[in-house]
Amino acid sequence: MTRTRGSDLLRWPLVGPVLRWRHARTVLQSASLGLAVLILLDGFFGPQLAPRNLAGVIPWVHWRGFVVLALLVAGNLFCMACPFMLPRRLAKRFLPGDRVWPPLLQSKWLAVALLVFFFWAYEAWALWASPWLTAWVALVYFVGAFVVDGFFRGASFCRFVCPIGQFNFVHSTISPLEVTVRDPDRCGRCETKDCIRGRYTPEARARRKDRAGVDEESWSGRPLRPTGPNGILTLAPPGPAPGRALGREGLLQGGCELALYQPRKEGNLDCTFCLECIHACPHDNVGIFTRTPARELTLDPVRSGVGRISRRPDLVAMALLLVFAAFVNAFGMVEPVFALQAWMAGIVGSGSRELILALFFLGGLVVLPGILVGSTAWLSRRLAGRSRSLGEEISLYAWSLVPVGFGMWTAHYLFHFLIGALTVVPVAQQYLRDLGLPSGDPAWGLGPLVPEGWLFPIELLFLQGGLLASLLVGYGIARREEGRKRRALRAFAPWALLATALTAAGIWLLLQPMEMRGTFFTS
């Protein structure tokens, strides 16, 4: 893969010094943790009418809108400022954190299952309408991050468990920024590999060598090789890794806990934008560069910590789940869904909302995608005259659908954000009033950020932008795999048709009356 670097944000005035500041991420995390605590308190003890509660407004209206905008214009900023990481850091200090994450779970399948469960629970339990349940979801997240990373090495929670993180990882492939090295040759001459292993004091480094019984320089200079499932590449020393007996003693700066070795790292998958590699690199050889959005989806190199994405069925399943969930999630908020659910209830002879929704999501996230993607892959293979298996064909081209899925997520989430963005003002005023602090009379009439007539054109812009990006990515994959232009066009055509059909479905959804959750106009 030929790296195409643009401008380095670390060289920019004002922005660069802030990002280089070692405590910048801690400040962001502290601010988001403070906000999360307020959400927990209001969710558990405040009014249980969602539009009057911070837990009913901020997570489901503001946070989701900001996440998609951040991914679109910058990158994985939520993981960078994640409030769950401060308790996790505390856990690393007081709990052993030395266990290896179970090999059978070293993939994205657990996170795929958790995402499916969340999409079902969101509708079945009406999380958006229950501040109390929303607070419980946040609390479970805090406890999960604390326990998992308190007992297991590295960032196991982020890499293998966190559903929100997986949403951000997949869609950050479309972002215009990437953390990468400035000069790969300089990394080749590096003897310490601090970007992945962390930077220690000279005394600690000497003790590490003695305790581990392995030469420091020969270990750090070894090439990468597969060390786990899916051919994931990480540093693979012979015998016990240096420093295992040393732990955090003498550690000046941590390295990448997600095992992304910078010279072999490609793209944004599994990158939390923690910037640890930037602070750890002793040669100032890591930057944050602008790049062509979504270009990494057209390429399939061996990526450090990830392997080849076309050979990772768990990653492919995650990508396809998020694509189709974008449309199923929006469909769950429009009027036709009620007629469909009533029809399903008549078929199965049950009035259980939980069961009907389980069947609804099973059909929308498993059965229908299987039919559509499977038939598209079969036709693409036939037209291109290839002998690849159906699974291989899907693994190669499924990534072309990520942009159109993200376009739908963005259009949907921005609808709720633009409709209810200003509701946070009266909710905050009421919160302060309940604490006995001066706040003025809550302005409950606030809500929309833009005129209603602007909503559909804005939504359409993002949805069609996603389609255009999907077409470009799909054609890029076809040219990479098929070589000749005519064969590439034949292989690409069915995937272009599927992306266009999904966009048409998205436009139909956007034209339906949608519940304006998070406002007083919720139906």
DSSP assignment of 262-291 equals GGG--SSTT-----HHHHH-TT--EEEEE-
The pLDDT assigned to 221 comes to 36
Among 367, 459, 385, 416, smallest CA distance to 61 is for: 416
The pLDDT assigned to 518 comes to 59
**H/E run at residue 178:** strand 177-181
Q: How far from chain centre, in Å, is Cα 420?
A: 24
The pLDDT assigned to 176 comes to 96
**What average pLDDT does the segment 246-259 reach?**
77
The pLDDT assigned to 373 comes to 97
The pLDDT assigned to 225 comes to 46
Q: Which of 79-93, 118-132, 465-479 is the least confident region?
A: 79-93
Q: Which has more confidence, 71 or 95?
A: 71
Q: What three-state secondary structure class fits 27?
A: helix
Same-domain pairing of 285 and 364? no
Same-domain pairing of 269 and 325? no
The pLDDT assigned to 362 comes to 95
Residue 116 counted as domain residue: yes
The pLDDT assigned to 246 comes to 43
434: pLDDT confidence band, cut at 50, 70 and 90?
confident
- Which ranges constitute the DSSP H helices of 313-401? 313-331, 336-348, 353-362, 368-384, 390-397
Same-domain pairing of 286 and 433? no
Q: What is the mean pLDDT of the chain?
A: 87
Same-domain pairing of 180 and 324? no
Residue 258 counted as domain residue: no
**What average pLDDT does the segment 461-469 reach?**
97
Find all residues with CB under 8 Å of 44, minimum gap 6, and list them: 132, 135
The pLDDT assigned to 243 comes to 35
The pLDDT assigned to 86 comes to 85
Q: Which of 24-28, 94-98, 324-328, 452-456 is the least confident region?
A: 94-98
Within 186-259, strands assigned E span: 199-200, 224-226, 233-235, 251-253
Residue 228 counted as domain residue: no
Q: What three-state secondary structure class fits 199?
A: strand
Query: What is the number of structural domains in the chain?
Result: 2
Same-domain pairing of 287 and 394? no
343: pLDDT strictly greater than 60: yes
Q: Which of 189-203, 326-340, 452-466 is the least confident region?
A: 189-203
Q: Give dist(CA 264, CA 236) in Å, integer.
A: 14
Residue 7 counted as domain residue: yes
Same-domain pairing of 39 and 80? yes
Q: Which has more confidence, 514 or 186?
A: 186
Same-domain pairing of 287 and 324? no
323: pLDDT confidence band, cut at 50, 70 and 90?
very high
Same-domain pairing of 160 and 37? yes
Domain range for 318 is 309-523
**What average pLDDT does the segment 425-443 reach?**
87
Are 262 and 139 spatial neighbours (Cβ–Cβ below 8 Å)?
Answer: no
Determine phi and psi for 84, rounding to 5 degrees: -75, -10
4: pLDDT strictly greater than 80: no
**What average pLDDT does the segment 437-459 reach?**
88
Residue 516 counted as domain residue: yes
The pLDDT assigned to 338 comes to 86
**What average pLDDT does the segment 334-351 reach?**
86
The percentage of residues in the chain with a pLDDT greater than 70, rounded to a whole number, is: 89
The pLDDT assigned to 211 comes to 54
Residue 24 counted as domain residue: yes
Residue 434 counted as domain residue: yes
**Cβ of 473: how many Cβ atoms within 10 Å?**
26
277: pLDDT strictly greater than 80: yes
The pLDDT assigned to 426 comes to 92
Residue 210 counted as domain residue: no
List, for residues 296-312, the tens digit of each pLDDT value: 999 999 999 899 999 99
Q: Which of 77-91, 322-336, 473-487 is the least confident region?
A: 77-91
Same-domain pairing of 61 and 172? yes
The pLDDT assigned to 244 comes to 38
Same-domain pairing of 289 and 317? no
Same-domain pairing of 339 and 458? yes
Q: Residue 121: is it exposed, middle or buried by C-beta count within 10 angstroms (0-12/13-18/19+)? A: middle
Same-domain pairing of 270 and 337? no
33: pLDDT confidence band, cut at 50, 70 and 90?
very high
The pLDDT assigned to 208 comes to 62
